[in-house]
Chains A and B, each alone.
Chain A
Amino acid sequence: MPELDELESRLDALVEGDFQRGLEVFRSKLKEAEASYLNSCVHCGLCASSCHYHRADATLENVPAHKLDVIAAVFKRNFTAMGRVAPGLVGARTFDREMAKAWVDAVFGRCSLCGRCSINCTIGIAMPRIFRAARAALGAMGLTPSDLQATVDNSLQHGNNMAITQEDWVETVQWIEEELQMEVDDPEAKLPLDKKGAKILFTVNPREPKFFPLSLQASAKVFWAAKEDWTLSSDPGWDLTNYGLFNCKDDEAGAITQNLVDAMERLGCKTLVIGECGHGYGAARWEGPEWLQKSYPFEIKSILELMDDYLREGRIHVDPSKNTVPVTLHDPCNLVRHGGICEAQRRVLRKSVTTFTEMTPNRAENFCCGGGGGQLSMARYKNRRIQSGGVKAGQIKDTGAKIVVAPCHNCIDQLMELNKEYKLNVQIKTVAEMVADAIVTTA
């Protein structure tokens, strides 16, 4: 593999200064919470089975505490007294090539930053916070896997993570508008572009215009039915994704978030609405203000909350008998456990379909699909991604559902692969697609 060799050779080429720089960046990401986490693990091992990697392949390397430990070992060696005095006793290790390799393998190769181990840890260590600091350090040492970095670079250079040109984007929006008009038989159904002063700026995942535009059409149909005052942006503010959340280079992540802030300012919208995407929501809603070091002067919401509002307020009406195929729901980690959006999508689905079965476990206890944390973009770890996704595949099978609803395009792509790999025979849809199919117009 050229890519494999490439990261290997970057590891081999590390010099003393690189380790120093890595340590500095690592240290700069730690505040009192993280320092506490790094002092806390008691090696009880109870977190092992909370991780989908370990569920699928029960080896030591897949135990969350072990992944944490390779990081904590270096922390102890460099930043604690005991680690300096008696490294052997407390398991402290010098940050050398071998440890850098172990870091890469642990935080890029065996972790989707899903945080399921956090809530199952005996002590309560929020592990992804540490793994992110480690990814940032590795990034500073030039060790970000190149395909993950390429996705970030796309956003930085082209304003969206698939390098779609403005022309292609605008043409697709117009095309979907025509399709929508045909679908709802209303020439006034619109996908407004750059409508200044619209109440809502809606953002999407580039995967939608590029390859899967039906979900964009579904969202637009919901807005149409709700008579919403909304718009899309023609400038980079249309893309909600931010793989800076995964390469953990905060300056790059912040620059990508700035696209959204700029579009909000340019168009003067009141609410920024994030389409169905877990990491995009996490990045824009939670991390964005931290990267930019300032609060947003506008409101930010998930389209799931919006649809929940529409139904509650009676702005749209749905007929569940239009969706009779049994449905289950996947909980994207960055939207639910880390994002706090948990019940809105459930209320919406229960109103829009006849048979809804929860996976077990679900909500904040959900298992990652295996595609999170940037795993989807890192080809080198594909086999582990598919293997660890076996846990989710099993959960899906157990529900007997024929449609898996996933409010996240990243998850959807992984679920599509799991569907094929584990012969699940299910359809995979967004919440908006289910709602759009159930919409009844009272006119």
Chain B
Amino acid sequence: MSPIAFNGTAVEQNEEGFLVDPSVWNEELAVVLAKAEEGLDQLTDDHWSVIRFIRNHFNESGNAPMVRSMCKGTGVPLKRIYELFPSGPAKGACKLAGLPKPDGCV
């Protein structure tokens, strides 16, 4: 996949659009990813609280949180999370939060 242009630098994504180097992530990049990967023009407060929650969890523990903790930690109901991120919590939300692709059937 060709790198995504961001602030005059090229940010590398893997074949599936996940960041090759999660540490380059910041919130402006999330906006760019949201448009490019999920077709989201606007990120609402709900989007942001999920994305920030996932990112904080990742910074602390190095992996993606369970969807249960996403709901609990943000107060966003489960069904709403699926609506917010068309590709779901893994290929949608975690991708926008700059996490590497989770292993498993995703």
Q: Which of A's residues lie within 8 Å of B, judged by CB? A: 1-3, 147, 150-151, 154, 161-164, 168, 171-172, 175, 205-207, 209-214, 241, 277, 376-377, 379-383, 409-410, 413, 416-417, 420
Contact = CB atoms under 8 A, between A and B. Distances in A.
A163 B63 contact: yes
A151 B105 CA distance: 9
A3 B14 contact: yes
Interface residues of B, number: 24
A323 B39 CA distance: 30
Contacts of B91: 413, 416-417
A416 B104 contact: no
A207 to B, nearest CB: 5
Contact of B105 (A161, A168, A420): A161
B98 interface: no
B52 interface: no
A213 B20 contact: no
A74 B67 CA distance: 47
Given A211-B88, A211-B90, A163 B68 contact: no
Contacts of A175: 68
Nearest to A410: B105
A212 B90 CA distance: 10
Interface of B: 14-16, 18, 20, 63-64, 66-69, 78, 86-91, 101-106
B15 A205 contact: no
A7 B104 CA distance: 20
B53 to A, nearest CB: 14
A206 B87 contact: no
Contacts of A213: 67-68, 78
B78 to A, nearest CB: 7
B105 A413 contact: yes
B67 A212 contact: yes
Contacts of B63: 163
A382 B15 contact: yes
A164 B103 CA distance: 11
Given A164-B66, A171-B68, A172-B66, A207 B105 contact: yes
Contacts of B66: 164, 168, 171-172, 209-210
A377 B101 CA distance: 9
Contacts of B89: 211-212
